[in-house]
Chains A and B, each alone.
Chain A
């Protein structure tokens, strides 16, 4: 079973998630603050951390930055009440492998945990919309060809994201586009990589706008 840790400063919410996930995953611990989370990740090395974005002392971004060194195999899935672009993008760029909002249904959350555990990225429809928005204009002029690749989505990646934004599941997308589900996952992972590494100013602006609280 996937070893999962829950990080959230609201006890009531942690209890709710725990009740949802019990029996489906191996819950290895909970943390209510950034410091606790860093210690928990270092001690337990969970497979997947469900990470709240808004917490005192830097929030989810700080947890990823401080804990990633101690447990390089641990993957982070942001689970947040906020769906503001600056929160979503900042957390993904800090290294989270996916972003879902707290009103997600239990089975979808379990599927998202499995997908992150399997090394894939998890894009909610809204996150897909943000990415399409951010990569909408022409790529900014830059020096190397490698940079330009990072700053642009391929037509296929765009098509996959559009389907995610329209509410399609990966296997449905694969069916519609006539490709395998693995290929869809590869496209999404490639987009995640671009999202984390691109220097497009929309992304850096969103990341910078986020107030740490």
Chain B
């Protein structure tokens, strides 16, 4: 919404803007800046014109009020951005002041034209208008809780405002309502005073007040306690939800594995494999990169886990510069998988080290074992097919695969995929 506004209020606006009150750059109700934007002139000019017209017999004020009522605001119904809420809060009070002053000026203008009501009416109506304006504006506006997030086209939904922010917003609403109520009551009191019936009303009000105070003293602690316990309950609910979620995860994973470990205590190899798999899974969960194999690091990690389980060989993965996978880099991951399976099968049980780097121009994956190695010139027959599936796959996608190996020095498969084929 902010973006749209900024675009709309940019310096030059060749296509004429629809006539809307501009609440982004307003003093009272955005009438002048809205008009200025529509006409393509500096809002200041419009403002001066209005002030001049107001000075010359009050026509400007009447006009202003008319435009205010007739022209809709530009962001009606849209959710305010957090930093805008503050401005709106202050604006509500300015609006009340504006409504009050406008009403007053209209009445004074009428007096100047010879149409006079008593003081009692004039001041009462002015106060009522100010207070009423504030209250109505307040109640017609959506409360923060009702504000719906911006349209999904924007992308991610706006994160919900922090509790602190909500509390402040609520306080602001309360204080504004308080001012509005005070103004309306003031209007009533003034009317009573001006018409001389104040003392009679005072007795009635006093009686009501006494009752209210008594009831307040009796029930206030109870109300406060109710509100506090409601807050505490909500916090407790959030905490217990987090605990339940973590508990569920630990049940599904760690406790399950510990049970399996106890069952297979006589098989150290199986126990080690279980522990490693669980460790990998828990680390991924703690690092928040669980599920979703559409990124290089996550895809390689999940492959490593799969191969560890299948072959009982530890697989270490280090990734520098993670990135999203596309169809070509998926081919690279598939080739890396073949290389990892190979290393696990023929690496003589040594740790398989996988290193991937997503650099500026290319993607590289190294798969290394510390097994017996072999002479690449004399590839054993049973490994040729697998080798083809690595080298062939890479070259089909515009990359290349190199195999470094020597008898006794382990094997390293180097896969390189340039960014552009």
Cβ-defined contact, B357 with A132, below 8 A: yes
Q: What's the Cα separation between A132 and B355 when bound, in Å?
A: 12
Q: Which chain A residues lie closer than 8 Å to B316 at the CB level?
A: 125-126, 167
Contact A84 B287 (CB under 8 A): yes
Q: Which residues of A contact B370 (CB under 8 A)?
A: 167
Which residue in B286, B287, B368 is a CB contact (below 8 Å) of A166? Answer: B368
Chain A contacts with B in 58-104, Cβ cutoff 8 A = 83-84, 103
Contacts of B319 in A (CB 8 A): 129
Complex CA distance for A49 and B316, rounded to whole angstroms: 26
**A166 in contact with B320 given A83-B283, A84-B286, A84-B287 (CB within 8 Å):** no
**A129 touching B318 by the CB < 8 A rule?**
yes
Q: Which residue of A lies closest to B414 (CB)?
A: A166
Rounded to whole Å, the gap between the CB of A123 and the closest CB of chain B is 11
Other A-B pairs, 8, CB within 8 Å; known A129-B319, A166-B366 = A125-B318, A126-B316, A129-B355, A132-B320, A162-B357, A165-B318, A166-B353, A166-B412
Residues on A with C-beta less than 8 A from B279 are 103
**Measured between alpha carbons, how far is A133 from B368 in the docked complex, in Å?**
21
| Total residues of chain A contacting the partner, CB 8 A | 15
Q: B320 contacts A125, CB within 8 Å?
A: no
Chain B residues whose CB sits within 8 angstroms of the CB of A103 once the complex forms: 276, 279
Count A/B pairs, Cβ under 8 Å: 39
The verdict on B138 contacting chain A, using a C-beta distance below 8 Å, is: no
Cβ 8 A contact of B355, one of A83, A133, A136, A162: A162
Tell me which residues across on chain B come within 8 A of A112, comparing CB atoms. Answer: none
Contact with B along A146-168 (1 / 0, CB 8 A): 00000000000000001001111
Q: Mark B371-386, 1 if CB is under 8 A from A, else 0.
A: 0000000000000000
**Considering only CB atoms, which chain A residue lies closest to B275 in the complex?**
A103
> Across the interface, do A125 and B321 meet the contact criterion of CB distance under 8 Å?
no
Asked whether B318 lies within 8 Å of A126 as measured between CB atoms, the reply is yes
For window 276-309 of B, CB contacts with A under 8 Å fall at 276, 279, 283, 286-287
The residue on B at minimum CB distance from A84 is: B287
Q: Interface of B with A (CB < 8 Å)?
A: 276, 279, 283, 286-287, 316, 318-321, 351, 353, 355, 357, 366, 368, 370, 412
Residues on B with C-beta less than 8 A from A168 are 368
6 contacts between A and B (CB under 8 A): A103-B276, A125-B355, A129-B320, A166-B355, A166-B368, A167-B353
A128 within 8 A of B: yes
Q: Which of A84, A125, A133 contacts B353 (CB 8 A)?
A: A125
- Supposing A83-B283, A125-B316, A167-B368 touch, asked if A133 and B351 sit within 8 A by C-beta, the answer is no
Q: B318 to chain A: which residues have CB within 8 Å?
A: 125-126, 128-129, 165
Smallest distance from the beta carbon of A132 to chain B beta carbons, Å? Answer: 5
Q: Which of B286, B320, B366, B412 contacts A136 (CB 8 A)?
A: B320
Tell me, rounded to whole Å, the shortest Cβ–Cβ distance linking A35 to chain B: 28
A83 to B282, CA, bound (A): 12
Considering only CB atoms, which chain A residue lies closest to B276 in the complex? A103
> Chain A residues with Cβ under 8 A from B321's Cβ?
133, 136
**Is A167 touching B320 in the complex (CB atoms < 8 A)?**
no
Q: Give the Cβ gap from A182 to chain B, nearest Cβ, in Å.
A: 22
Residues of A within 8 A of B283 (CB): 83
User: Shortest CB–CB separation between residue A209 and chain B, in angstroms?
Assistant: 12
A152 and B127 CA atoms in complex are apart in Å by 68
Q: How far is A128 from B355 in the complex, measured between Cα atoms in Å?
A: 11
Give the complex CA separation of A83 and B321 in angstroms. 17
Chain A, residue nearest B297 (CB): A129
> Which B residues lie within 8 Å of A128 (CB)?
318
Q: How far is the CB of A203 from chain B (nearest CB, A)?
A: 15
Given A162-B355, A166-B353, A166-B368; A133-B287 close (CB under 8 Å): no
Residue picked from B318, B321, B355, most chain A C-beta under 10 Å: B318
Contacts of A166 in B (CB 8 A): 353, 355, 366, 368, 412
- CB nearest neighbor in A for B321: A136
Please indicate the chain B residues that have their CB under 8 angstroms from the CB of A136 in the complex: 320-321
Which chain B residue has the least Cβ–Cβ distance from A132? B320
**What 10 A-B pairs come out closest when comparing CB atoms?**
A167-B353, A129-B318, A166-B355, A132-B320, A165-B318, A166-B366, A165-B355, A125-B318, A167-B368, A133-B320
Q: Smallest Cβ distance from B417 to chain A, in angstroms?
A: 17
Whole-angstrom distance between the Cβ of A62 and the nearest chain B Cβ: 22
User: Which residues between 107 and 153 of chain A lie within 8 Å of chain B, taking CB atoms?
Assistant: 125-126, 128-129, 132-133, 136
Contact B355 A167 (CB under 8 A): yes
Residues of B within 8 A of A162 (CB): 355, 357
Q: Would you give the shortest CB distance from B261 to chain A, in whole angstroms?
A: 15
Question: Distance (Å) between the CB of A99 and the closest chain B CB?
Answer: 14
